[in-house]
Amino acid sequence: MPPENTAQDAAFFPAHAGEGVGTWPASLLRLGLAWAALIAASAHEWGEMLHQWWNIDTYNHILIVPIIIAWLVGLKREDLARLAPRAWWPGLALVAAAMALWGAGRLTGINLLAHAGAVAMVQAAVIALLGPRVSVLLALPLGFAAFLVPFGDELIPALQFVTAEIAVALTRAGGI
């Protein structure tokens, strides 16, 4: 169990010295570099998602998801200050699985898979580079990041059909 940091250390989230764990600034730098590499590798998918968020009314609400994620992380700032980030090597398996999902989506041309894989790579990098304790604390923002994937537009015709059938049935049942 990692030691807790003192209140005076909370400003920069450092870990206790000499324990073989990184400080928060160093860990966040590594995370930022990993995110940059993963986003660069999946830039095509991030570009497609950004296009959908910005230009398709169905997905405009996704533009506020990163703001909500940042707010959710900010709510955990004090709790995060008490933890020391530690890279977790089994987390690399999650990154590899996310990359496989992304690759499968690219190979098959299924955008939903490729987009989900691109987002999952970023989520998995947090788990791999900050460790399971930090990731558990950030479970809600990490899970909420799944809403960055634009999906559901294909459900609209089916939902409209069901709504129309219900409306017709209720109209007939009401004698109108």
pLDDT in tens, 82-99: 999 999 999 999 999 999
Whether 7 is covered by a domain: the verdict is no
**Contact present, 89 and 101 (Cβ < 8 Å):** no
**Contact present, 72 and 141 (Cβ < 8 Å):** yes
Whether 147 is covered by a domain: the verdict is yes
pLDDT band at 46 (very low <50, low <70, confident <90, very high): very high
Measured distance CA(172)–CA(169) in Å, rounded = 5
Measured distance CA(90)–CA(3) in Å, rounded = 21
Highest mean pLDDT among 66-75, 150-159, 167-176: 66-75
Measured distance CA(128)–CA(55) in Å, rounded = 33
Structural domain count, the chain: 1
Whether 2 is covered by a domain: the verdict is no
Q: Is the pTM of this model over 0.85?
A: no
Domain of residue 55 covers 21-173
pLDDT in tens, 119-138: 999 999 999 999 999 999 99
Whether 50 is covered by a domain: the verdict is yes
